[in-house]
Amino acid sequence: MYKTGKWYWNSAVITGVLLGAFGVWLSILGNPENAGICISCFLENIAGALHLHQNVRMSYLRPEIIGLVLGAFLVAYMSGRFRVRGGSSPLIRFFMGFYLIVGAAMFIGCPVKSVLRLSAGDLTAVPALFGFISGIWFGLQYVRGGFALEKEQELGKANGLVIPALMGILLLFLLVKPAFIVFGEKGPAAMHAPLLISLLAGILIGGFAQKSTFCMMAGFRNFFIARDGFLLRGIVTMFLVATGVAISTGHFRLGLNGQPGSHLAHGWSFLGMFLVGGISVLANGCPFRQVIMAAEGHTDSGLTLLGMLVGGGIVQSWEIRSTIAGPTFGGEIAVLTGLIFLMAVGTAFRTRRRQRIQTAQEEQTQDLVEHKEHYSLSGINR
């Protein structure tokens, strides 16, 4: 199905064009440098606006995230792809969302931002991208080894409307600006493109991302598993378009040093994004894809999104997020516990392993029965 479209005109490539172009333009129009679109940064901003952390400099209701959800919801609903399902290991998925943000906070950006940073010439994104791809490879070892979370099931339609409705309410808050929502007036919170443009960009990208199933993780995963380059072309297009726009607007500056919103702890950037890559495979979607899936009726992704939102609050409150000076101690420990979580979940949910244990237990029972029979027979003989 994916391979029928011509590479230069399919929905994944269009999503890549939109992400690449808006990723740079939104920065030019006011968003923080190299963060025209970033799921993790924006969720931290939304968490701050909702009082989930106290860093006012990172508190703003980002219309891009609201737009992504509403755009994806509208396209899914109108095209009949709004299918409500869930119930697959919900608590595990919540913590997956949390650790997706922990990993991204170590690098200061989600996988989409890592491509945008690289396209602006920021070479500190290279180890992060390598980490992300390595994490995907590592996660695939569990998938190949029989990893699967509990089976999801069809749910009532109202369940799937919760996340789009929540975003609708956030949009209302953004327009009305009630006193209980925090809108920072300094730092990244004060840096934002005009509301309408950000919202429209989010809706457009969300719509096409829903249609194409665009996902940073799946782009590499599908290529590794089946040499399917449909989504990978979208990622490459995003990089090329963003690079083109950055060069043409004078926002391209090649180098490791002095890049905005970056640090030089490359090993930790690698490990942070390794965690994001690995968990994305187990959760079946990168942070960007989780947002889109939450909008199309996938309640498990809705829970992952809520985990990411809570994570956005905690990484700020507990000083887990890296700063320009480098990673914090809390961040290092959080990433290590994230890696433990990744491997523990990967190992615990391997169905083949469980089957092997079941087979071994059956064999043990059989052995025991034979053993008893043997001795009882021996007893009779005696």
Partner 1 sequence: MRNSTMDRLDIVSISLIMILSILATGMVAMHREAAHSPQSQEAKAAPARQGSGDVNVFQEVDALIKSARYDEALNALRKTMEKYPKNPESQVYLAAIYNRQGDMEKAISLCRQSIEKNPDLLELATANLKDLVQKGIPKLQREKELKPNDEKVSTLLRDLYFCQRKLGQGCE
- Residues binding partner 1 (CB under 8 A): 32-35, 38, 41, 57-58, 108-109, 141-142, 145, 186-188, 191, 257-263, 323-325, 329, 332-333, 336-337, 339-340, 343-344, 346-347, 350, 353, 356-357, 359-360, 363-364, 367
**Least distance (Å) from partner 1 to the CB of residue 295?**
24
**Least distance (Å) from partner 1 to the CB of residue 178?**
25
Of 193, 180, 163, 178, which Cα lies nearest the Cα of 72? Answer: 163
Of 225, 213, 221, 215, which Cα lies nearest the Cα of 135? Answer: 221
Nearer to partner 1, 257 or 381 (CB): 257
Nearer to partner 1, 162 or 191 (CB): 191
**Least distance (Å) from partner 1 to the CB of residue 273?**
15
Nearer to partner 1, 86 or 346 (CB): 346
Nearer to partner 1, 15 or 259 (CB): 259
Helix axes 111-119, 230-248, angle to 10 degrees: 40
**Least distance (Å) from partner 1 to the CB of residue 180?**
23
**Least distance (Å) from partner 1 to the CB of residue 246?**
14
Burial letters for 362-372: b for 16+ Cβ neighbours within 10 Å, e otherwise?
eeeeeeeeeee
Nearer to partner 1, 27 or 222 (CB): 27
Long-range Cβ contacts of 302-306 (<8 Å, 24+ apart): 302/86, 302/160, 302/162, 302/163, 303/86, 303/90, 303/93, 303/94, 303/97, 304/93, 304/94, 304/96, 304/97, 304/100, 305/97, 305/163, 306/94, 306/97
Considering only CA atoms, give the Rg of the chain: 23
**Least distance (Å) from partner 1 to the CB of residue 92?**
16
**Least distance (Å) from partner 1 to the CB of residue 76?**
30
**Least distance (Å) from partner 1 to the CB of residue 191?**
6
Nearer to partner 1, 160 or 346 (CB): 346
Nearer to partner 1, 165 or 333 (CB): 333
Q: Give start and end residues of each alpha helix (H) in the chain.
A: 11-28, 39-49, 63-78, 90-107, 111-119, 125-144, 157-160, 162-176, 187-190, 195-212, 216-226, 230-248, 266-283, 287-295, 299-317, 329-348, 351-381
Nearer to partner 1, 82 or 132 (CB): 132
CA dihedral 195, 197, 201, 207 (to 10 degrees): 80
For the record, the structure tokens of 211 come out as: 């249609």
